[in-house]
Amino acid sequence: AITRGQYAVTDSDQPPFSWAYDPSARLPAYDPAAADRAFDAIGWRRGTDGVRALNGSRLQIVLAVFPEGDTAVRTVELVQQMLAARGVDAVIKKVTLAHFYLPAAAGGLLMSGNYDLAYMVWRSGEDPDDSDLVTCGAISNYAGYCNPVVDSLENDALSSVDQTKRRAAYVEIQRSLARDAPYLFLYAPTYGYAARTDLRGFTPTPFSPTSNAFDWQRH
């Protein structure tokens, strides 16, 4: 309902049409009952207001999002409701896109770490290189994820031109990300574009609507 069928649900940072995509990589299954048991087991019990607490501290978290994106806001509001059903009080923090992705020194929200969960957008390119998102200390590694095995696999993938070898590395990377879950991948977007009826040769790719602009003609 959030994306009106435009975005396919995914468990991977690789788009389903990529040669590197591994359909067997699966994030942990959605299991509300298991989540309740896990909270109870470590002492986070529901109070009279329905919010869990431990040693007098309520289970309240900050859920960050940029307000410019309708899909982003609607998703975060749904996540807030789902967390509330588990006894977690998620407070939505809206930060404009102008400040969302900036470096921490410039007041960037993601790199500052001043949140518990955040909705972010990351788009892959035609090549499946995702090292900027998942390697230790990478510029877009907003989760602070650091797994030496993944770093080694990324190095293997980027140091080879053999697609078979590269795919094997990216398959293992996707499986590691599914196990470790530094990110909860949500959607594989499908974009729609409007074009004039007299425009010929307009053939958008999954990565760019203007990749063949040199072929366009008006009739």
Task: Kindly report, residue by residue over 49-106, the tens digit of the pLDDT.
Answer: 999 999 999 999 999 999 999 999 999 999 999 999 999 999 999 999 999 999 888 9
Task: Kindly report, residue by residue over 106-159, the tens digit of the pLDDT.
Answer: 989 999 999 999 999 998 888 999 999 999 999 899 999 999 999 999 999 999
Contact (CB, 8 A) for 63 and 76: yes
Classify domain 8-192 at the CATH class level. alpha beta
**What are the C-alpha distances in Å from 8 to residues 58, 166, 189?**
35, 25, 6
**What are the C-alpha distances in Å from 57 to residues 83, 89, 122?**
17, 12, 34
CA quadruple 58, 64, 65, 67: dihedral positive or negative? positive
What ranges do the domains of the chain cover? 8-192
Helices (H) and strands (E) in the chain, counts: 7, 10
pTM: 0.89
In angstroms, rounded to a whole number, what is the distance separating the alpha carbons of residues 10 and 24? 11
